[in-house]
């Protein structure tokens, strides 16, 4: 089903586009009940980190367990590694916008369904428009496909894509770096891509 055929997705998009700023969006998002299975199991809606004037935006797929409990994006093991890699390349995390394509944790860390992803897209695209970052870094394949459509990470990574006037630089998700272990290729390339994103955003 396309977004235009899902009345809930259409309603969310219209609602999101009617909101004037990020504060209004953050006030409304926690009341969203569009995805019944996620609403039944979530502790909170993870709106994301949206510091004023952010030139760099990192995009993940969906909140994990720690994010669901705290309401903050990327605070579990992946978040801790991301913090270290950001610090390695001289990026101040507090100045970076961090979102997920889907704002509520899928149970048992399953991937978001197509319907959930489609419904949350209206919120996330409005956040992107309001933040208006110079560079976006999708973390992992799912977030990369959210921007580029069907692709593989090996095909998409390592170059800058123009998506609706935005520079998009896909890279690995920190969880891939954790799986490979310290010093593995995903960690090395993720660090290098973050450094390149910082250069592009300057």
Decide: residue 59, CB within 10 A, 0-12 exposed, 13-18 middle, 19+ buried. buried
User: Segment near ligand SF4 (CB under 6 A), from 28-36, 49-57, 148-156, 171-179?
Assistant: 28-36
Tell me if 103 contacts ligand SF4 by CB under 6 A: yes
56 DSSP β-pair partners: 135
In the complex, the smallest distance separating the C-beta of residue 194 from ligand SF4, rounded to whole angstroms, is 26
Query: 32-51 mask for ligand SF4 (x: CB under 6 A)?
Result: x-xx--xx-----x------
* Number of residues binding to ligand SF4, judged by CB under 6 A: 14
- Of 61, 68, 116, 196, the one binding ligand SF4 (CB under 6 A) is 116
- Three-state DSSP at 46 gives coil
**Residue 102 touches ligand SF4, criterion: CB under 6 A:** yes
Instruction: Report d(CA 187, CA 54) in Å as an integer.
Output: 24
Q: Which stretch binds ligand SF4 (CB under 6 A): 13-21, 85-93, 115-123, 194-202?
A: 115-123
Which of residues 36 and 150 has its CB atom nearest to ligand SF4 in the complex?
Answer: 36
- Map 102-143 to HEC letters: CCCCCHHHCCCCHHHHHHHHHHHHHHHHHHCCCEEEEECHHH
Residue from 119, 126, 145, 191 touching ligand SF4 (CB under 6 A): that is: 119
- Tokens for 29, please give them: 């998002």
Reference 163, options 146, 187, 142, 184; nearest CA is 146
* Residues near ligand SF4, by CB under 6 A: 29, 32, 34-35, 38-39, 45, 102-104, 116, 119-120, 123
């Amino acid at each position: 089903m396309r977004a235009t055929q899902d009345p809930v997705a259409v309603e969310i998009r219209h609602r999101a586009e009617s909101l004037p700023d990020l504060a209004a969006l953050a006030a409304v998002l926690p009341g969203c009940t569009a995805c019944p299975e996620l609403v039944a199991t979530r502790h909170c809606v993870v709106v994301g980190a949206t510091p004023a004037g952010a030139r760099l935006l990192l995009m993940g797929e969906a909140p994990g367990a720690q994010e669901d409990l705290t309401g903050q994006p990327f605070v579990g093991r992946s978040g801790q590694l991301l913090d270290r890699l950001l610090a390695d390349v001289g990026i101040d995390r507090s100045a970076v916008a961090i979102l997920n394509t889907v704002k509520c944790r899928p149970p048992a860390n399953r991937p978001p369904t197509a319907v959930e992803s489609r419904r949350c897209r209206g919120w996330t695209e409005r956040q992107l428009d309001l933040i208006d970052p110079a560079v976006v870094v999708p973390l992992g394949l799912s977030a990369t496909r959210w921007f580029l459509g069907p692709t593989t990470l090996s095909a998409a990574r390592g170059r800058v894509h123009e998506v609706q006037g935005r520079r998009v630089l896909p890279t690995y998700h920190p969880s891939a770096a954790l799986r490979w272990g310290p010093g593995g290729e995903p960690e090395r390339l993720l660090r290098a891509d973050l450094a390149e994103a910082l250069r592009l955003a300057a």
